[in-house]
Structure 1
Amino acid sequence: MQTLQIQKALKQKGFDPGPLDGVRGASTVAAIMAYQRANGLVVDGLVGPMTSAKLFGGALPAGQSSLPRQTVPWMIGAEALLGVKEDTSDADNPLIMGWAKALKISYANDETPWCGLFVAHCIGTQLPTEPRPNNPLGARAWLNFGKASSAQFGAVIVFWRGSPGGWQGHVGFYVGEDDKAYHILGGNQSNRVSSARMPKGRFLGARWPSQVPDPKAGPRWLDASGAMSDTQA
Protein backbone atom coordinates (compact mmCIF):
# COMPACT_ATOMS: atom_id res chain seq x y z
CA MET A 1 0.00 0.00 0.00
CA GLN A 2 2.83 2.39 0.81
CA THR A 3 4.44 1.97 -2.60
CA LEU A 4 1.11 2.60 -4.33
CA GLN A 5 0.70 5.87 -2.40
CA ILE A 6 4.19 6.91 -3.44
CA GLN A 7 3.44 6.06 -7.07
CA LYS A 8 0.23 8.12 -7.00
CA ALA A 9 2.01 11.11 -5.45
CA LEU A 10 4.79 10.94 -8.05
CA LYS A 11 2.25 10.71 -10.87
CA GLN A 12 0.39 13.76 -9.55
CA LYS A 13 3.62 15.74 -9.55
CA GLY A 14 4.47 14.81 -13.13
CA PHE A 15 6.96 11.99 -12.52
CA ASP A 16 5.91 8.78 -14.24
CA PRO A 17 6.39 5.73 -11.94
CA GLY A 18 5.01 3.30 -14.49
CA PRO A 19 1.88 1.27 -13.68
CA LEU A 20 0.15 2.23 -10.43
CA ASP A 21 0.44 -1.31 -9.12
CA GLY A 22 2.13 -1.01 -5.73
CA VAL A 23 5.29 -2.67 -7.04
CA ARG A 24 8.61 -0.88 -6.55
CA GLY A 25 10.04 -1.69 -9.97
CA ALA A 26 12.66 0.02 -12.10
CA SER A 27 10.26 2.71 -13.36
CA THR A 28 9.21 3.65 -9.83
CA VAL A 29 12.83 3.82 -8.64
CA ALA A 30 13.71 6.00 -11.64
CA ALA A 31 10.77 8.31 -10.92
CA ILE A 32 11.77 8.70 -7.27
CA MET A 33 15.32 9.56 -8.28
CA ALA A 34 14.10 12.05 -10.90
CA TYR A 35 11.87 13.69 -8.29
CA GLN A 36 14.74 13.89 -5.81
CA ARG A 37 17.05 15.36 -8.43
CA ALA A 38 14.49 18.00 -9.40
CA ASN A 39 13.91 18.99 -5.78
CA GLY A 40 17.49 19.20 -4.54
CA LEU A 41 17.24 16.05 -2.43
CA VAL A 42 19.76 13.26 -2.02
CA VAL A 43 19.33 11.10 -5.12
CA ASP A 44 19.22 7.58 -3.69
CA GLY A 45 15.83 6.27 -4.82
CA LEU A 46 14.66 5.88 -1.22
CA VAL A 47 11.60 7.56 0.23
CA GLY A 48 13.08 8.52 3.57
CA PRO A 49 11.95 11.35 5.89
CA MET A 50 13.16 14.23 3.68
CA THR A 51 11.76 12.84 0.44
CA SER A 52 8.46 11.78 2.01
CA ALA A 53 8.01 15.21 3.62
CA LYS A 54 8.53 16.91 0.26
CA LEU A 55 6.49 14.42 -1.72
CA PHE A 56 3.51 14.48 0.63
CA GLY A 57 3.64 18.17 1.48
CA GLY A 58 5.04 17.73 4.97
CA ALA A 59 2.52 15.05 5.94
CA LEU A 60 2.52 11.31 5.37
CA PRO A 61 -0.44 9.62 3.68
CA ALA A 62 -3.55 9.09 5.82
CA GLY A 63 -3.05 6.28 8.31
CA GLN A 64 0.74 6.23 7.92
CA SER A 65 2.97 7.25 10.80
CA SER A 66 6.15 6.33 8.95
CA LEU A 67 7.45 4.64 5.82
CA PRO A 68 10.05 2.29 7.33
CA ARG A 69 9.99 -0.40 4.64
CA GLN A 70 10.76 2.18 1.99
CA THR A 71 14.16 2.61 3.66
CA VAL A 72 15.01 -1.07 3.06
CA PRO A 73 13.45 -1.57 -0.39
CA TRP A 74 15.86 -4.35 -1.32
CA MET A 75 14.04 -6.50 1.26
CA ILE A 76 10.70 -5.83 -0.42
CA GLY A 77 12.21 -7.12 -3.64
CA ALA A 78 13.84 -10.08 -1.89
CA GLU A 79 10.64 -11.16 -0.15
CA ALA A 80 8.73 -10.98 -3.43
CA LEU A 81 11.07 -13.65 -4.84
CA LEU A 82 10.53 -16.23 -2.09
CA GLY A 83 10.05 -19.65 -3.69
CA VAL A 84 11.96 -18.95 -6.90
CA LYS A 85 14.11 -22.01 -7.54
CA GLU A 86 16.76 -23.16 -9.95
CA ASP A 87 15.92 -25.65 -12.68
CA THR A 88 17.40 -28.96 -11.53
CA SER A 89 17.23 -30.42 -15.05
CA ASP A 90 19.71 -29.64 -17.82
CA ALA A 91 17.83 -26.38 -18.44
CA ASP A 92 18.20 -23.12 -16.48
CA ASN A 93 15.59 -20.93 -14.81
CA PRO A 94 15.35 -17.96 -17.20
CA LEU A 95 14.44 -15.65 -14.32
CA ILE A 96 17.72 -16.34 -12.51
CA MET A 97 19.67 -16.12 -15.74
CA GLY A 98 17.93 -12.80 -16.45
CA TRP A 99 19.22 -11.33 -13.19
CA ALA A 100 22.78 -11.87 -14.38
CA LYS A 101 22.06 -10.54 -17.85
CA ALA A 102 20.46 -7.34 -16.53
CA LEU A 103 23.44 -6.68 -14.26
CA LYS A 104 25.95 -7.64 -16.99
CA ILE A 105 27.41 -10.39 -14.80
CA SER A 106 29.00 -13.35 -16.57
CA TYR A 107 27.08 -16.37 -15.32
CA ALA A 108 27.15 -19.79 -16.95
CA ASN A 109 24.08 -21.59 -15.54
CA ASP A 110 21.95 -21.88 -12.45
CA GLU A 111 23.97 -24.86 -11.23
CA THR A 112 26.65 -22.30 -10.38
CA PRO A 113 26.13 -21.05 -6.79
CA TRP A 114 23.85 -18.02 -7.04
CA CYS A 115 23.51 -16.65 -3.51
CA GLY A 116 25.70 -13.68 -4.48
CA LEU A 117 23.75 -13.16 -7.69
CA PHE A 118 20.50 -12.99 -5.70
CA VAL A 119 21.91 -10.32 -3.39
CA ALA A 120 23.30 -8.39 -6.37
CA HIS A 121 19.91 -8.52 -8.10
CA CYS A 122 18.00 -7.27 -5.04
CA ILE A 123 20.47 -4.45 -4.40
CA GLY A 124 20.93 -3.59 -8.08
CA THR A 125 17.24 -3.26 -8.93
CA GLN A 126 16.34 -1.22 -5.85
CA LEU A 127 19.55 0.81 -5.42
CA PRO A 128 20.81 1.15 -9.00
CA THR A 129 23.65 3.55 -8.14
CA GLU A 130 24.99 1.55 -5.18
CA PRO A 131 28.44 0.07 -5.99
CA ARG A 132 28.62 -3.72 -5.93
CA PRO A 133 31.66 -5.90 -5.21
CA ASN A 134 33.94 -6.60 -8.18
CA ASN A 135 32.99 -10.26 -8.05
CA PRO A 136 29.37 -10.32 -6.82
CA LEU A 137 29.09 -14.08 -7.43
CA GLY A 138 31.70 -14.67 -4.73
CA ALA A 139 29.94 -14.71 -1.37
CA ARG A 140 32.97 -13.46 0.56
CA ALA A 141 33.37 -10.57 -1.88
CA TRP A 142 30.34 -9.02 -0.17
CA LEU A 143 32.54 -8.36 2.86
CA ASN A 144 33.78 -5.38 0.78
CA PHE A 145 30.28 -4.12 0.05
CA GLY A 146 29.05 -0.78 1.42
CA LYS A 147 29.96 -0.16 5.04
CA ALA A 148 30.26 -2.25 8.18
CA SER A 149 27.00 -2.83 10.01
CA SER A 150 25.50 -4.67 12.91
CA ALA A 151 23.28 -7.68 12.24
CA GLN A 152 19.94 -5.96 11.65
CA PHE A 153 16.95 -6.28 9.35
CA GLY A 154 18.10 -5.93 5.74
CA ALA A 155 21.83 -6.17 6.41
CA VAL A 156 23.94 -8.24 4.01
CA ILE A 157 25.33 -11.11 6.08
CA VAL A 158 28.34 -13.21 5.01
CA PHE A 159 29.21 -16.67 6.32
CA TRP A 160 32.16 -18.98 5.79
CA ARG A 161 31.68 -22.39 4.26
CA GLY A 162 34.23 -25.20 4.26
CA SER A 163 36.66 -23.50 6.63
CA PRO A 164 36.94 -20.00 8.16
CA GLY A 165 40.18 -19.28 6.28
CA GLY A 166 39.08 -20.67 2.93
CA TRP A 167 37.39 -19.00 -0.02
CA GLN A 168 33.94 -20.58 0.06
CA GLY A 169 31.01 -18.79 1.64
CA HIS A 170 27.36 -17.87 1.65
CA VAL A 171 25.63 -14.50 1.59
CA GLY A 172 22.08 -13.35 2.18
CA PHE A 173 19.94 -10.81 4.02
CA TYR A 174 19.37 -10.71 7.77
CA VAL A 175 15.75 -11.26 8.80
CA GLY A 176 16.27 -12.05 12.47
CA GLU A 177 18.05 -14.38 14.86
CA ASP A 178 17.72 -16.79 17.75
CA ASP A 179 20.30 -17.85 20.32
CA LYS A 180 22.16 -20.15 17.93
CA ALA A 181 21.44 -18.92 14.40
CA TYR A 182 20.85 -16.01 12.09
CA HIS A 183 17.69 -16.24 10.01
CA ILE A 184 18.71 -15.40 6.46
CA LEU A 185 16.61 -14.64 3.40
CA GLY A 186 18.77 -15.70 0.50
CA GLY A 187 19.13 -17.41 -2.84
CA ASN A 188 20.48 -20.90 -3.48
CA GLN A 189 19.21 -22.04 -0.09
CA SER A 190 18.03 -25.60 -0.80
CA ASN A 191 18.18 -24.57 -4.49
CA ARG A 192 15.64 -21.79 -4.03
CA VAL A 193 15.01 -18.36 -2.53
CA SER A 194 14.04 -19.12 1.04
CA SER A 195 14.61 -18.30 4.68
CA ALA A 196 17.19 -20.49 6.43
CA ARG A 197 18.87 -20.66 9.82
CA MET A 198 22.64 -20.21 9.55
CA PRO A 199 24.90 -21.07 12.54
CA LYS A 200 26.26 -18.01 14.32
CA GLY A 201 29.65 -19.71 14.49
CA ARG A 202 30.00 -19.30 10.70
CA PHE A 203 29.37 -15.53 10.74
CA LEU A 204 32.04 -13.42 9.00
CA GLY A 205 30.49 -9.97 8.81
CA ALA A 206 27.50 -7.71 8.21
CA ARG A 207 27.39 -4.91 5.64
CA TRP A 208 25.00 -2.05 4.80
CA PRO A 209 24.62 -0.09 1.52
CA SER A 210 26.94 2.92 1.54
CA GLN A 211 24.25 5.24 0.13
CA VAL A 212 21.62 4.37 2.75
CA PRO A 213 21.67 5.74 6.32
CA ASP A 214 22.34 2.99 8.83
CA PRO A 215 19.26 2.78 11.09
CA LYS A 216 21.24 0.90 13.77
CA ALA A 217 18.08 -1.08 14.42
CA GLY A 218 19.70 -3.83 16.44
CA PRO A 219 18.80 -7.53 16.55
CA ARG A 220 15.37 -8.93 15.73
CA TRP A 221 14.64 -12.01 17.84
CA LEU A 222 12.72 -14.90 16.29
CA ASP A 223 11.72 -18.38 17.37
CA ALA A 224 14.33 -21.08 16.82
CA SER A 225 12.20 -23.02 14.36
CA GLY A 226 13.48 -24.87 11.30
CA ALA A 227 16.54 -27.02 10.75
CA MET A 228 20.01 -25.53 10.90
CA SER A 229 21.69 -25.21 7.51
CA ASP A 230 25.19 -26.61 7.02
CA THR A 231 25.57 -26.69 3.26
CA GLN A 232 24.33 -23.44 1.72
CA ALA A 233 26.45 -22.21 -1.17
Structure 2
Amino acid sequence: MTRDEWTRVQARLHKLGFNPGPIDGLRGRLTVAAVRRFQASRGLVADGIVGPNTMRALFEGQTAPAPASVDAMPWFEEARRLVGTTETPGAASTQTILDWADGLELHYPGDDIPWCGLFVGHCIGATLPDEGLPAAVLRARAWERFGQPCEPQMGAVMVFWRTSLASGNGHVGFYAGEDPGAFLILGGNQSDAVNTVRVGRDRFLGARWPLTSLPPGGETRLVEVGGGLSTNEA
Protein backbone atom coordinates (compact mmCIF):
# COMPACT_ATOMS: atom_id res chain seq x y z
CA MET A 1 0.00 0.00 0.00
CA THR A 2 1.18 3.48 -0.81
CA ARG A 3 1.49 6.27 1.71
CA ASP A 4 -1.61 7.93 0.26
CA GLU A 5 -3.56 4.68 0.66
CA TRP A 6 -2.47 4.38 4.27
CA THR A 7 -3.53 7.97 4.85
CA ARG A 8 -7.02 7.08 3.62
CA VAL A 9 -7.14 4.01 5.86
CA GLN A 10 -6.01 6.06 8.88
CA ALA A 11 -8.56 8.78 8.15
CA ARG A 12 -11.32 6.18 7.88
CA LEU A 13 -10.28 4.51 11.14
CA HIS A 14 -10.29 7.89 12.87
CA LYS A 15 -13.77 8.69 11.53
CA LEU A 16 -15.06 5.34 12.80
CA GLY A 17 -13.68 6.02 16.29
CA PHE A 18 -10.52 3.93 16.17
CA ASN A 19 -7.62 6.25 16.87
CA PRO A 20 -4.70 5.38 14.55
CA GLY A 21 -2.41 8.07 15.89
CA PRO A 22 -1.08 10.71 13.48
CA ILE A 23 -2.68 10.56 10.04
CA ASP A 24 0.67 10.49 8.31
CA GLY A 25 0.46 7.58 5.88
CA LEU A 26 2.88 5.45 7.89
CA ARG A 27 1.97 1.98 9.12
CA GLY A 28 3.15 2.40 12.71
CA ARG A 29 2.21 0.53 15.87
CA LEU A 30 -0.68 2.87 16.69
CA THR A 31 -2.18 2.30 13.27
CA VAL A 32 -1.75 -1.47 13.56
CA ALA A 33 -3.42 -1.40 16.99
CA ALA A 34 -6.34 0.62 15.59
CA VAL A 35 -6.77 -1.85 12.73
CA ARG A 36 -6.85 -4.71 15.22
CA ARG A 37 -9.50 -3.00 17.35
CA PHE A 38 -11.59 -2.36 14.25
CA GLN A 39 -11.24 -5.96 13.11
CA ALA A 40 -12.31 -7.29 16.51
CA SER A 41 -15.35 -5.00 16.47
CA ARG A 42 -16.44 -6.49 13.13
CA GLY A 43 -15.78 -10.14 13.99
CA LEU A 44 -12.74 -10.33 11.73
CA VAL A 45 -9.41 -11.95 12.53
CA ALA A 46 -7.64 -9.26 14.57
CA ASP A 47 -4.21 -9.58 12.98
CA GLY A 48 -3.62 -5.90 12.18
CA ILE A 49 -3.26 -6.67 8.47
CA VAL A 50 -5.53 -4.76 6.10
CA GLY A 51 -6.44 -7.57 3.73
CA PRO A 52 -9.41 -7.65 1.33
CA ASN A 53 -12.01 -8.46 4.02
CA THR A 54 -10.81 -5.71 6.33
CA MET A 55 -10.66 -3.22 3.46
CA ARG A 56 -14.24 -4.01 2.46
CA ALA A 57 -15.46 -3.65 6.04
CA LEU A 58 -13.61 -0.37 6.55
CA PHE A 59 -15.09 1.30 3.45
CA GLU A 60 -18.52 -0.33 3.47
CA GLY A 61 -21.18 2.10 2.29
CA GLN A 62 -18.67 4.69 1.04
CA THR A 63 -19.25 6.29 -2.33
CA ALA A 64 -15.51 6.61 -2.98
CA PRO A 65 -13.87 3.26 -3.75
CA ALA A 66 -11.58 1.68 -1.19
CA PRO A 67 -7.84 1.73 -1.91
CA ALA A 68 -7.00 -0.88 -4.51
CA SER A 69 -3.95 -2.27 -2.70
CA VAL A 70 -3.99 -4.53 0.33
CA ASP A 71 -1.60 -4.90 3.23
CA ALA A 72 -0.05 -8.22 2.16
CA MET A 73 3.61 -7.74 3.18
CA PRO A 74 3.85 -4.73 5.48
CA TRP A 75 7.40 -5.57 6.56
CA PHE A 76 8.56 -5.47 2.94
CA GLU A 77 6.84 -2.12 2.36
CA GLU A 78 8.67 -0.76 5.40
CA ALA A 79 11.94 -2.05 3.98
CA ARG A 80 11.25 -0.31 0.68
CA ARG A 81 10.40 2.92 2.48
CA LEU A 82 13.80 2.92 4.16
CA VAL A 83 15.88 2.52 0.99
CA GLY A 84 18.61 5.15 1.02
CA THR A 85 19.20 5.09 4.79
CA THR A 86 22.96 5.15 5.40
CA GLU A 87 25.17 4.78 8.43
CA THR A 88 27.31 7.70 9.56
CA PRO A 89 31.07 7.33 9.00
CA GLY A 90 33.34 7.60 12.01
CA ALA A 91 32.35 7.73 15.66
CA ALA A 92 28.86 9.20 15.09
CA SER A 93 25.80 7.07 14.31
CA THR A 94 22.69 7.59 12.21
CA GLN A 95 19.79 8.34 14.56
CA THR A 96 17.29 6.41 12.43
CA ILE A 97 19.31 3.21 12.90
CA LEU A 98 19.60 3.82 16.64
CA ASP A 99 15.83 4.37 16.76
CA TRP A 100 15.28 0.91 15.27
CA ALA A 101 17.17 -0.61 18.17
CA ASP A 102 15.26 1.50 20.71
CA GLY A 103 11.97 0.32 19.19
CA LEU A 104 13.06 -3.29 19.74
CA GLU A 105 14.42 -2.49 23.23
CA LEU A 106 17.91 -3.58 22.19
CA HIS A 107 21.21 -2.33 23.53
CA TYR A 108 22.96 -1.11 20.40
CA PRO A 109 25.95 1.20 20.90
CA GLY A 110 26.33 2.43 17.34
CA ASP A 111 26.09 1.70 13.65
CA ASP A 112 29.69 0.53 13.38
CA ILE A 113 28.24 -2.77 14.66
CA PRO A 114 26.75 -4.80 11.74
CA TRP A 115 23.08 -3.90 11.43
CA CYS A 116 21.57 -6.11 8.72
CA GLY A 117 19.76 -8.14 11.40
CA LEU A 118 18.63 -4.97 13.13
CA PHE A 119 17.15 -3.71 9.86
CA VAL A 120 15.17 -6.92 9.32
CA GLY A 121 14.11 -6.93 12.98
CA HIS A 122 12.83 -3.37 12.74
CA CYS A 123 10.88 -3.98 9.53
CA ILE A 124 9.13 -7.03 10.99
CA GLY A 125 8.80 -5.83 14.58
CA ALA A 126 7.35 -2.46 13.62
CA THR A 127 4.71 -3.91 11.29
CA LEU A 128 3.88 -7.32 12.84
CA PRO A 129 3.85 -6.58 16.58
CA ASP A 130 2.83 -10.14 17.56
CA GLU A 131 5.57 -11.82 15.54
CA GLY A 132 8.28 -13.54 17.56
CA LEU A 133 11.78 -12.35 16.70
CA PRO A 134 15.06 -14.24 17.20
CA ALA A 135 16.55 -13.84 20.66
CA ALA A 136 19.73 -12.53 19.03
CA VAL A 137 18.21 -10.15 16.46
CA LEU A 138 21.59 -8.67 15.56
CA ARG A 139 23.06 -12.06 14.59
CA ALA A 140 22.21 -12.58 10.94
CA ARG A 141 22.27 -16.37 11.11
CA ALA A 142 19.88 -16.42 14.07
CA TRP A 143 17.24 -15.61 11.45
CA GLU A 144 17.59 -19.19 10.14
CA ARG A 145 15.17 -20.12 12.98
CA PHE A 146 12.73 -17.26 12.47
CA GLY A 147 9.07 -17.90 11.61
CA GLN A 148 8.53 -20.79 9.22
CA PRO A 149 10.53 -22.10 6.26
CA CYS A 150 9.41 -21.13 2.77
CA GLU A 151 10.65 -21.06 -0.79
CA PRO A 152 12.48 -17.91 -1.91
CA GLN A 153 9.76 -15.44 -2.92
CA MET A 154 8.96 -11.75 -2.79
CA GLY A 155 9.34 -10.43 0.75
CA ALA A 156 10.84 -13.59 2.25
CA VAL A 157 13.59 -13.27 4.86
CA MET A 158 16.74 -14.59 3.16
CA VAL A 159 19.73 -15.82 5.18
CA PHE A 160 23.27 -16.21 3.84
CA TRP A 161 26.67 -17.13 5.19
CA ARG A 162 29.42 -14.53 5.08
CA THR A 163 33.20 -14.93 5.11
CA SER A 164 32.87 -18.73 5.17
CA LEU A 165 30.18 -21.28 5.96
CA ALA A 166 32.05 -22.41 9.07
CA SER A 167 32.70 -18.89 10.40
CA GLY A 168 29.22 -18.37 11.86
CA ASN A 169 29.13 -14.97 10.15
CA GLY A 170 26.13 -14.18 8.03
CA HIS A 171 23.91 -11.72 6.25
CA VAL A 172 20.12 -11.34 6.21
CA GLY A 173 17.74 -9.31 4.06
CA PHE A 174 14.57 -9.62 2.00
CA TYR A 175 14.02 -11.32 -1.35
CA ALA A 176 13.43 -8.77 -4.12
CA GLY A 177 14.11 -10.92 -7.20
CA GLU A 178 16.66 -13.28 -8.68
CA ASP A 179 18.74 -14.05 -11.74
CA PRO A 180 20.58 -17.24 -12.71
CA GLY A 181 23.58 -16.46 -10.53
CA ALA A 182 22.24 -14.49 -7.59
CA PHE A 183 19.36 -13.41 -5.43
CA LEU A 184 18.44 -9.73 -5.43
CA ILE A 185 18.35 -8.74 -1.75
CA LEU A 186 16.81 -5.62 -0.23
CA GLY A 187 18.70 -5.25 3.01
CA GLY A 188 20.58 -3.07 5.44
CA ASN A 189 24.30 -2.65 5.98
CA GLN A 190 24.93 -3.40 2.32
CA SER A 191 27.90 -1.14 1.61
CA ASP A 192 26.79 0.72 4.77
CA ALA A 193 23.30 1.49 3.41
CA VAL A 194 19.79 0.17 2.86
CA ASN A 195 19.69 -0.79 -0.81
CA THR A 196 19.29 -3.73 -3.17
CA VAL A 197 22.28 -5.87 -4.16
CA ARG A 198 23.03 -9.22 -5.79
CA VAL A 199 24.04 -11.95 -3.33
CA GLY A 200 25.48 -15.18 -4.73
CA ARG A 201 23.29 -18.28 -4.69
CA ASP A 202 26.21 -20.34 -3.37
CA ARG A 203 25.93 -18.45 -0.04
CA PHE A 204 22.22 -19.11 0.47
CA LEU A 205 21.20 -20.86 3.72
CA GLY A 206 17.42 -20.57 3.81
CA ALA A 207 14.27 -18.51 3.37
CA ARG A 208 11.81 -17.80 6.19
CA TRP A 209 8.31 -16.33 6.44
CA PRO A 210 6.51 -14.62 9.38
CA LEU A 211 4.01 -16.80 11.24
CA THR A 212 1.54 -13.97 11.87
CA SER A 213 1.20 -12.78 8.26
CA LEU A 214 -0.74 -14.08 5.30
CA PRO A 215 0.70 -17.51 4.34
CA PRO A 216 3.58 -17.75 1.86
CA GLY A 217 2.84 -18.47 -1.76
CA GLY A 218 3.89 -15.28 -3.47
CA GLU A 219 5.79 -14.50 -6.62
CA THR A 220 9.36 -14.98 -7.67
CA ARG A 221 10.74 -12.37 -10.02
CA LEU A 222 13.46 -12.90 -12.61
CA VAL A 223 15.53 -9.77 -13.09
CA GLU A 224 18.36 -8.69 -15.32
CA VAL A 225 20.39 -6.24 -13.30
CA GLY A 226 23.92 -7.35 -14.12
CA GLY A 227 26.90 -6.17 -12.15
CA GLY A 228 28.96 -7.90 -9.53
CA LEU A 229 28.04 -9.72 -6.36
CA SER A 230 27.81 -8.07 -2.95
CA THR A 231 30.95 -8.38 -0.83
CA ASN A 232 30.46 -5.58 1.75
CA GLU A 233 27.82 -6.47 4.35
CA ALA A 234 29.46 -5.64 7.66
TM-score (norm 1): 0.92
C-alpha deviation, 1:58, in angstroms: 8.4
Q: In structure 1, how many angstroms separate the alpha carbons of the residues matched to 2:182 and 2:63?
A: 37
After TM superposition, list the pairs within 5 Å mapping 1:34-53 onto structure 2.
34-53=37-56
| One-letter code aligned to 2:7 | L
Unmatched 5+ residue regions in structure 2?
Answer: none
Judge which range, 218-227 or 175-184, deviates more: 218-227
Q: In structure 1, how many angstroms separate the alpha carbons of the residues matched to 2:36 and 2:121?
A: 20
Residue of structure 1 equivalent to 2:12: 9
Residue of structure 2 equivalent to 1:117: 118
Look up the SS of the partner of 1:192 in the other structure: coil
Q: In structure 2, do the counterparts of structure 1 residues 75 and 108 end up closer, same or farther at CA, with 3 Å as the change threshold?
A: same
Q: In structure 2, do the counterparts of structure 1 residues 96 and 34 end up closer, same or farther at CA, with 3 Å as the change threshold?
A: same
Residue of structure 1 equivalent to 2:135: 134
Q: In structure 1, how many angstroms separate the alpha carbons of the residues matched to 2:101 and 2:107?
A: 7
Checking the alignment, whether the CA contact within 8 Å between 1:197 and 1:229 is kept in structure 2 is yes
Q: Kindly, what percent of the aligned residue pairs are identical?
A: 45
Residue of structure 2 equivalent to 1:102: 103
TM-score (norm 2): 0.91
After TM superposition, list the pairs within 5 Å mapping 1:145-156 onto structure 2.
145-156=146-157
Look up the SS of the partner of 2:17 in the other structure: coil
Judge which range, 165-174 or 7-16, deviates more: 7-16
Unmatched 5+ residue regions in structure 1?
Answer: none
Residue of structure 1 equivalent to 2:169: 168
After TM superposition, list the pairs within 5 Å mapping 1:67-106 onto structure 2.
67-68=69-70, 70-106=71-107
Q: In structure 2, how many angstroms separate the alpha carbons of the residues matched to 1:201 and 1:60?
A: 53
Superposed CA RMSD in Å reads: 1.9
Q: In structure 2, do the counterparts of structure 1 residues 46 and 63 end up closer, same or farther at CA, with 3 Å as the change threshold?
A: closer
Q: In structure 2, how many angstroms separate the alpha carbons of the residues matched to 1:146 and 1:84?
A: 26
1:32 has 2:27 as partner: no
Deviating runs (4+, > 4 A) in structure 1? 58-61
| One-letter code aligned to 1:80 | R
Residue of structure 2 equivalent to 1:18: 21
Look up the SS of the partner of 1:9 in the other structure: helix
C-alpha deviation, 1:18, in angstroms: 2.3
| One-letter code aligned to 1:21 | D
C-alpha deviation, 1:59, in angstroms: 8.7
Look up the SS of the partner of 2:48 in the other structure: coil
